[in-house]
Amino acid sequence: MAARIHIHLVSDSTGETLESVARASLARFEGVDAVKHFWPLVRSKGHMDRVLDDIASNPGLVIFTLATGEVRNHLETRTEALGLPAVSAIDPVVAGLAMMLGKAATAKPGRQHKLDDAYFARVEAINYTMAHDDGQMAENWNEADILLVGVSRTSKTPTSIYLANRGYKTANYPLVPTRDPPPHMFQLKKPFIVGLTTTPQRLVEVRRNRLLSLAQAPDTTYVDNERVKAEVLNARRLFADQGWPVIDVTRKAIEETAAAVINLMNEALPSGEAGGPSPSA
């Protein structure tokens, strides 16, 4: 049976960092049934008291990102009295930065979410990406940082949205057997174009599940084995003819695919040029 544990994620901000840390750490252990208790925007002792009541009722590991001293001290004092481990998710990194920079860190919760130029650029990237999903508004592709191309159900849309949240304007285009890609796709200069592919077997499985979720009969040409094999083969030929890098998304998480896209884009940059979203994105 799986080992059952409680994990309390306590943050004075949105808690995104804690979610990522907990997910990555739990992935290192097999057979663990983790019950997560998520506590974002904890910025007062009164709120912390309510959190501590739940921690006392469901003892387990406490992971926190708390910038303010009083609230943090309250948590550490009470968890120590309860005999429970309380771990700061970012203290080692902050300490390393303080040593390198020669100055102390500020104690302002949620500072990473300030409404600066980078924040609004990220919003712009998300808006662009949503408007250019599934081949829409192809005439504006030269404004994109990235263009993802692939047959249906190769995770183009979720990967695009994830990249947009990283600040990259991302468009995507579905390759359809009965339709030729727009000619200007092959003359684009700005966007970094990446082909997404998967195994025919996996594609049939994903498509069949999609049809079932829509209450449609799973016996159309959309999931025909030979047709799907031909689709994947033709897509690979197109990618090779155009010299586009290819990522096989079979069994890959969206985060892994997006990271691979960014790595490929950075590798394609001229030597010495920094990677990252364009200033306009």
> Any idea what the CATH number is for the domain that residue 84 is in?
3.40.50.10700
Q: Please check the confidence at residue 220 and state whether its pLDDT lies above 90.
A: no
Contact 146, 172 (CB under 8 A): no
Sign of the torsion angle spanned by Cα atoms 133, 266, 26, 106? negative
Q: Is 152 annotated as a binding residue?
A: yes
Same domain (yes/no): 55, 191: no
Structural domain that includes position 204: 117-268
Q: Is 111 annotated as a binding residue?
A: no
pLDDT tens-place string over residues 14-63: 888 899 899 999 999 999 999 999 999 999 999 999 999 999 999 999 99
pLDDT of residue 28: 93
pLDDT tens-place string over residues 138-173: 999 999 999 999 999 999 999 999 999 999 999 999
Question: What is the enclosing helix (H) or strand (E) of 130?
Answer: helix 117-131
Q: Is 275 annotated as a binding residue?
A: no
Weakest-pLDDT range from 12-21, 90-99, 238-247, 268-277: 268-277
Same domain (yes/no): 14, 65: yes
For residue 276, being part of any structural domain is answered with no
Structural domain ending residue among the three candidates 111, 126, 154? 111
Q: Is 153 annotated as a binding residue?
A: yes
Tokens of 197: 């592919």
* CA–CA dist 24, 129 (Å, integer): 27
What type of residue sits at position 237? Answer: R
Q: How many domains does the chain have?
A: 2
Structural domain ending residue among the three candidates 87, 111, 135? 111
Q: Is 155 annotated as a binding residue?
A: yes
* CA–CA dist 167, 178 (Å, integer): 33
- pTM for this predicted structure: 0.71
* CA–CA dist 140, 19 (Å, integer): 35
pLDDT tens-place string over residues 84-116: 999 999 888 888 988 889 988 776 665 555 556
CATH code for position 169: 3.40.50
Q: What is the mean pLDDT of the chain?
A: 90
For residue 278, being part of any structural domain is answered with no
pLDDT of residue 279: 41
Q: Specify burial of residue 26 (Cβ count, 10 A radius: 0-12, 13-18, 19+).
A: middle
pLDDT of residue 175: 97
Same domain (yes/no): 13, 66: yes
Same domain (yes/no): 77, 145: no
For residue 245, being part of any structural domain is answered with yes
